[in-house]
Amino acid sequence: MSNNDSFIEEVTEEVRREKLYGYLRRYGWIAVACVLLLVGGAAWNEYRNAQARNTAQALGDALVDALNEDAPEARAAALADVSAEGASAAVTLLLRAATQQEAGDAAGAAETLNALAVDPDAPEMYRDLAALKAAILPTDDTEARMAALDALSLPGQPFRLLALEQKAYLTLEGGDVDAAIAIMRQVEEDAAVTRGLRERVQTLMVALGEPLPEPVAQ
């Protein structure tokens, strides 16, 4: 009986082994393909990460070199030659516009900012910021500046309070003190106003002879 049991176990084990080898011959390529896919995916991901790091480093070096130019005109020209995409391109254009303004080229700065403001490939936040900066630039076209600030100061706009502040300044330049104070009061009373912005409008309101509201008693 013992010999028979051993023989049966050996036969059973051999059958199992043959089945296993059969499964490996039939489906083993799937396991190999999975391993190759995992290894290839990891290698491709590492390659992409390395490319992104190299691109970011090259962009950073180009920006540093451009900003190290002594004259603002040279900095603006160097920034114009910097190649970037997406948010990086938007930041580069904002830096270029600031440098153009520093060089006294208000028209060039406005052109750069307006181009960014309507660029569909730029993130919306940077487009709105460019539009705000363009509206702040000193130009003779007061109506166009006010129209731009009206759009940027609508509820829900990310730079609404800053646009309202600029509207108050522009209104004050036009000689309508009461309307300017009304806009500044709107800024001051907004729940989302920052401390610095509130202090700026309060300082100007006091200078215009407008009393500040009494602090709420705790």
Q: What is the pTM of this model?
A: 0.65
Tens place of pLDDT for every residue, the chain, 218 residues? 455 556 556 656 666 666 666 666 666 666 666 677 777 777 767 766 666 666 667 666 667 777 777 787 887 777 777 777 777 888 888 888 888 888 888 888 888 999 999 888 888 889 999 999 998 888 778 888 899 899 999 998 889 999 999 999 999 988 899 999 999 999 998 999 999 999 999 999 998 888 766 654 44
CA 168 – CA 186 distance, rounded (Å):
10
User: How many Å separate Cα 108 from the centre of its chain?
Assistant: 23
SS (H, E, C) the chain: CHHHHHHHHHHHHHHHHHHHHHHHHHHHHHHHHHHHHHHHHHHHHHHHHHHHHHHHHHHHHHHHHHHCCCCHHHHHHHHHCCCCCHHHHHHHHHHHHHHHHHCCCHHHHHHHHHHHHCCCCCCHHHHHHHHHHHHHCCCCCHHHHHHHHHHHCCCCCCCHHHHHHHHHHHHHHCCCHHHHHHHHHHHHHCCCCCHHHHHHHHHHHHHCCCCCCCCCCC
Per-residue pLDDT at 9: 63
CA 103 – CA 97 distance, rounded (Å):
10
Q: Are 134 and 117 in contact (CB under 8 A)?
A: yes
Q: Among candidates 182, 190, 218, 188, which has minimal Cα distance to 201?
A: 188
CA 99 – CA 108 distance, rounded (Å):
10
Q: Which amino acid is at 207?
A: A
The terminus-to-terminus CA distance of the chain in angstroms comes to 98
Q: Among candidates 204, 197, 202, which has minimal Cα distance to 212?
A: 202
Per-residue pLDDT at 215: 53
